[in-house]
Amino acid sequence: MPGVPTQEWPVADATRYRDAGYWQGESIGAWLRARAAQHAERTAVVGGSTRWSYARLDQEADRVAAGFLARGVQPGERVVVQLPNVPEFLAVMLGLIRAGIVPVFALPAHRQTEIDNIATVSGAVAYVIPAVHEKFDYRTLGRSLRASHATVRHVVVAGVVEQDDPDLESLDAFRGDDLSLLIDPPSSSVAFLQLSGGSTGLSKLIPRTHDDYLYSVRESATICGLSPASVYLVVLPVAHNFPMSSPGFLGALDAGACIVLSPSPAPDVAFALIEQERVTIAAAVPPIALMWLEAKAITSADLSSLEVLQVGGAKLTPAIAARVTPTLGATLQQVFGMAEGLVNYTRLDDDVDTICNTQGRPISADDELRIVDDDDVPVAPGAIGHLQTRGPYTIRGYYQNAAANARSFTDDGFYRTGDLVSRTAAGYLVVHGRATDQINRGGEKVSPEEVEDHLVAHPAVLDAVVVSVPDDYLGERSCAFVIPRAERVPPPVLKSWIRNRGLAAYKVPDQIVFVDAFPSTGVGKTSRKDLRGALRALAAEQA
């Protein structure tokens, strides 16, 4: 079976996970088929004017699977998928996975630099895009990817394609009816590649198997109380791991529930959908939760159907957490997860104190957690340390990236999350920050190195250091300290120059501060890390 080679779980652990019933030997394609048989006529997904039943979604996935195979895309090959919150995303994702073709999920915010990099690292043979979304024409990205990557054989547009455009093909040409080429992939194979938030500039790809992902999805659906009566609202980008799997739209499908795709998290859009579709559960990052809390006072929308608001992706402050239930009437669920695997939830019946002040506890009794000091030695119970984890749905290594694997995993297979946490006596985690320099901008992860590399490429910039500064709304925002060569380029010019380098807008520094020199950190040769620490302190003082 062609497949994506990956850092596998050791045989003893894999056997244990199978024997425990975590890994059930079912592919995601077969799982969808079974859900469709069980719930055929129920509504699976609502997006725009489209409503698909479970039977229809299953059929749409079949058509994509058949179409890509008929066009010569082989099982095991990778396809970059960059689609917004539209039903076609589900058809393409589930169709490719059913065919054993491996989707690689990009976010709609990604631009040429990120897409080039993702295509290179994954060795993609095709790229699926919308025509235009949020006023951005993805077809220009598609053409440039075709021009720069000889290995990309198809750019597939879910939307309008001009007749005579030689570089672009319509998704309709990748829909078929002939399922004779379809072979159910092994459940132990890699179903798709997720993107890591990343603390360095280059994308790290996260290989998730059918077995391990379905386990986390099933358990999450149970923990979050999903049933056929649930209606799950997707307001975050649908390709992100949180709305995909915690319990996400896959958890909704597992339960026979209905998925509602919102084109935007803006209160006017999302609240209207909550009222119309009687949404029962939604997942947000802290800035969206805060925006909803503020908007509740002035909306006339009926939000009474909302039973659970999940918040995760970045730290939710206890003060904002405490406002959720009194304001929205919904139970708050904090979710601390990562695309690499481990997900923690507060439970719906936890007491208010636990819900407001912790980031939850793991899904599985077999999630192994270690909290250690800088030398990997466990800290005293209750003390703050680095979180390391290993378990039935946490990867043992990134996709083809030996250097990152040596850094990010211990010799005994624990993933170094980079998060600083403590654990309560009841086993709940509290997140205190990150040990790495990664900036968590309201749930969107920014690598300082990546932005610095682009800044110093500007002819007027001698050196640049990017750090996080506390922000009431985002939690953290980014600030670039720049040493100019001679003239100071106005910050807006520098910002648009960064954007024009083909970088996602959320990576453009929120603030640019010119300095003549960086502070001395008093430790001889200054490391970037020390420098960032000193500048973070300086920025906090000035704020």
Q: Which CB sits closer to ligand J2J, 27 or 359?
A: 359
Residues with Cβ within 8 Å of residue 484, at least 6 apart in sequence: 460, 461, 462, 514
Phi, psi of 129 (to 5 degrees): -135, 165
DSSP state, 67? H
Least distance (Å) between residue 166 CB and ligand J2J: 37
In one-letter notation, the amino acid at residue 509 is P
Interacting positions 98-157 with ligand J2J (CB under 6 A): none
Q: Which range touches ligand J2J (CB under 6 A), out of 15-23, 36-44, 311-319, 490-498?
A: 311-319
CB of 47 to ligand J2J, least distance (A): 21
Is 314 a residue that touches ligand J2J (CB under 6 A)? yes
Enumerate residues 156-175 that contact ligand J2J by CB under 6 A. none
Instruction: Tell me the window of 22-30, 329-337, 405-413, 535-543 that interacts with ligand J2J (CB under 6 A).
Output: 329-337
**Of the residues 95, 197, 265, 362, which one makes contact with ligand J2J according to CB under 6 A:** 197
CA 102 – CA 215 distance, rounded (Å): 19
Closest CB to ligand J2J among residues 69, 214: 214
**Which lies closer to ligand J2J via its Cβ, residue 109 or residue 515?**
109
445 is a site residue for ligand J2J (CB under 6 A): yes
| Site membership for ligand J2J, residue 359 (CB under 6 A) | yes
User: Count residues contacting ligand J2J (CB under 6 A)?
Assistant: 25
| Nearer CB in complex with ligand J2J: 267/312 | 312
Distance CA 484, CA 456 (A): 10
Which residue is listed with tokens 């929120």? 510
> Cα separation of 225 and 228, whole Å?
10
**Per CB under 6 A, 390 contacts ligand J2J:** no
Asked if residue 358 binds ligand J2J (CB under 6 A), the reply is: no
Separation CA 126–CA 90 (nearest Å): 17
Per the listing, tokens 């951005």 go with: 136
Integer Cα distance of 282 and 275 in angstroms: 13
- Which of 98, 111, 390, 434 contacts ligand J2J by CB under 6 A? 434
Instruction: Tell me the CB-side half-sphere exposure of residue 464, using CA atoms within 13 A.
Output: 29
Residue 242 binds ligand J2J, judged by CB under 6 A? yes
Q: Is 422 in the site for ligand J2J (CB under 6 A)?
A: no
CB of 339 to ligand J2J, least distance (A): 4
Does residue 336 bind ligand J2J (CB under 6 A)?
yes
Q: How far is residue 447's CA from residue 497's CA, in Å, rounded to a whole number? A: 18
Examine residue 338 and tell whether it contacts ligand J2J (CB under 6 A): yes
* Interaction between residue 346 and ligand J2J (CB under 6 A): no
- Give 376: exposed, middle or buried? Use CB within 10 Å, 0-12, 13-18, 19+: middle
Q: Which of 337, 397, 442, 448 binds ligand J2J (CB under 6 A)?
A: 337
3-state SS of 207-257 is EEEHHHHHHHHHHHHHHCCCCCCCEEEECCCCCCHHHHHCCHHHHHHHHCC
Site residues (vs ligand J2J, CB under 6 A) = 197, 241-242, 245-246, 312-315, 334-339, 343, 359, 417-419, 431, 434, 440, 443, 445
